[in-house]
A and B are shown apart, each in its own frame.
Chain A
Amino acid sequence: MSRSLHKAHRTTPCTNYRPLIGIFTACSVLLFSMIIPSIAAAADQLTVYSGRAERLIKPALDEFTAKTGIQIALLSSGTTELVNRMKAEGNRSPADVFITNDAGSLELARTAGLFRPLSMREIERAIPPQFRATDNSWIGLSGRFWIITYNTKMVKPDQITSLLDLADPIWKGKLAIPNAGSEYLQAGVSVIRASIGDDRTKTLLEGLRDNAGAQVYQKSSQIVEAVAKGQVALGIVNHYYVYRHLATQPTSPIAVVMPDQQEGGMGAIMNVAGIGVLKHTPRMEQAKLLVEFLVAQAGQKIFADLDKEYPLHPEVQADPALVERKSFRAAMVPLAKLAELRAPTLRLIEQVGMR
């Protein structure tokens, strides 16, 4: 029997799964049709990877498109996730421009060789040198400060003057902090380490960890909400989240302390959101136009008015609701140093066991 069977088989090619092969082909066509458009579309538009929340950056990009006609594909995600991704994608990366909210990450991307230095008079005229990379491969766009926000019904303004006060056990269960994975927390801790040393920073972080307990948030907007509702009394966030909240809900019982302004204090912790142009981009001209637009007065005004950030262009005014920029001082840690400070900072955060 088996001989005759074999004979029968030799004449038929082995396609036992023909119906399945049909499905398989259909699926692969579908798969490729999904991959190809992203490549094809890239020919005439600028792809921006953004680590900033979409609603904070999209208005500025829309304005740019309206002005220049250059379309933008905006892809928003986590900052570190995007840096990892661009490193992995290398020269194949669809990204032309990277925008994010942490100078440390920008500097890390620079040292990883992802950016192309820009030499443009427009940049040098608009943005002071301390807010850009030494070789202009990334350029700061807007400034933000760590502030303490508090619920005015639960806290008196004179109870808190410094971030270090937040480690006091009287705030147990009353404090909200960002999660350990957020770049702005990491950058802030780097600045604190550089200002007061590792030992005191560790004590501070342990205090924050114990006081916050489970009140560790993924998003700054949630911290502001929690403070406004009275779920917690105090929170650490970037200043503009509070002012954006107040702009929509002016009667909300929250206020701001610009911390560490006392004699000998370390000063407020500053960071910038910035932009870098990817080294391999074939759309250098369009990318430069975007940078030019964002550093110029029109672009800076969007960050000031809509996002409530501090514009870096010296001639653009911040929103009048904000604490006057000249009335407080910032910690004396150069932004570019945030990159090298980061690895030991992460170790410290992990050691303390912050969430």
Chain B
Amino acid sequence: MKGYKNCIIKVDLSSGNIKKEHLNADYIKRYLGGEGYGIALLWNHMPLDADPLSPENLLSFNTGPMTGTPAPSASRTSVCFMSPLTNTIGASNMGSHFGAELKFAGYDTVAFTGKAEKPVYLLIDNEKVEIKDASSLWGMDTRETTEAIKEAEGHDIKVCCIGQSGEKLSSLACIFSDDCFAGRGGAGAVMGSKNLKAVAVRGNGKVEIADTDAFKIAFKNSIRELREEAYTWGPVHGYGTPAWVGGADDFGILPTRNYINNKFEEIEKVLPYNLWNNTDKYKMTRRTCYACQLGCHKYVVMGDVEVGEMEYESLAAFGPRCGVSDYESICMAGYYTTIYGIDSISGGSTISAIMEWYEKGIITKEQTDGLEMNFGNGPAMVEMLRKMCLREGCGDLYADGSFAAAKKIGGKAMDYVMAVKGMEISATDPRGSSSMTISFGTSERGACHMRPYAATIDAFGYLYPDLDITEPKDPFSDTEDKSWLKALKECFVVTNLAGICDFNVINTEMKPSTMAELYTAITGVEIDKYELLRTAERTIALERAINYIRGFRRKDDRLPKRFMTEPATGGPPAGRVTDMEAALDKYYEACSYDKETAVPTLEKYQELGMMHIAEKVYNLIKQDA
């Protein structure tokens, strides 16, 4: 089948054994590729009770069938693993030029098991695949590591690697690739636990496409759809994702001071034009991922400091969420997350939790190494972040995120942890968007804003006719029908499977039917949008099965109490709290999930052709009963 390279590299780091195999055609048919392929690997090739930081954990880098083609932002690599942050499945995807290069080298997926005796990196140079010593790289930050590998292997090589946080097994550690990150869920710690410092790839081969003429038409449709969406092609194209900050504040979904507030009174100061126009202090450049039309990636240099990418989530996490409004501190925090390699969302959220604990007297200066962790104290935030990244002093307590820290601190600390399944909630206040309540709650990898980013529909009022979303949805109703959310989630997940960026659909730009056209042109396999969405539905059903086996139930799909008990303080949702149970019931109904166990019903599994999966899950359900 064209589009795929039909080759997976399996690396056992314990024995140093490297095998190349054909892709499993059954996984491709069921789950398409990308994230779906990685999750299928977990189900089939890993003990499902594996400890995330043990050698048993299976870490895979999965490109999709579209990765490497000119399809819009066909750059994505889905990294799949068991997450040390949440203990659920981990699926985190990154852009950069790494995935395309892997395809050009001739591979769809690289999978790692075991643990190397000493630090290593994997070099993939077209046909040649070898494990190389990385002892001299251990202790280096992400940029230094990339440079050192380029120095050794040639400057055209594409690298993804971990920084010090990954080495120190921080559950917030991410994987870095050319200022893009597989950020959420602690993939960096999994690499660290395997003594795997980096993966470097050079590819001079090609990705073949089944029907060039059909592709040309589908490609033109897809870029037209992107360019016709005014917000995407206007502010986001211009300022990058920080453009969302103003809108989020207007609609009252901008988390402020650890979600105490949902609107930021100093919003003016953090609007992105302050960064772009302040040319005496900041230099902004654009560097995009492979084949990206949008180019949300904005590279910031502040004096001598090469900050790296500044995007909405980092800005919101280190800005309003911590009550900080000075760009200097926000940029410094962004710099540390980049070079040490931690997830900026969870990093910023953990610090905002520390700030609330500090202000409420749950922790004192003893647990902050003397730092005055009040909301709004930018320099203290930056210093705390640095300590967290390096596990220095008190930073060790917080390095695994707010959930793990609260367990150690005890008392009322857990009440102020804004996380689901242990993963910190990203920068959208669910009190202002009922559908985001469900997105954060039911996301299989912990509170994730991209499964799906539904505030676009209910809060911002977008429609998505190709997904049958033709009527505006009420952002404040938890009892409204949520079947549209099921389709939207599948649409977002399809992008992860296909290897394109979910920013193609975040503002309802690209039609799922255009995605299907692209897929058909690339692979030569006829598919319509319904079957495409079904591959995502299967992937989600498989992820739910793994999570169930690992002990996750309906109770784990709930948001923190704050959203149900403390009303929103400003903007359109002022005074509103979330009715979590009603929202969950509506969503489970729409997805045909059992309301108690939160997994698809037997009938649903049967319809999806996944009875072999269902058997395991339902045997366990029987035992539990």
Judge: A and B partners, yes or no: no
Query: Contact residues of A with B, CB < 8 Å?
Result: none
> What is the interface of chain B, defined by CB distance below 8 A to chain A?
none
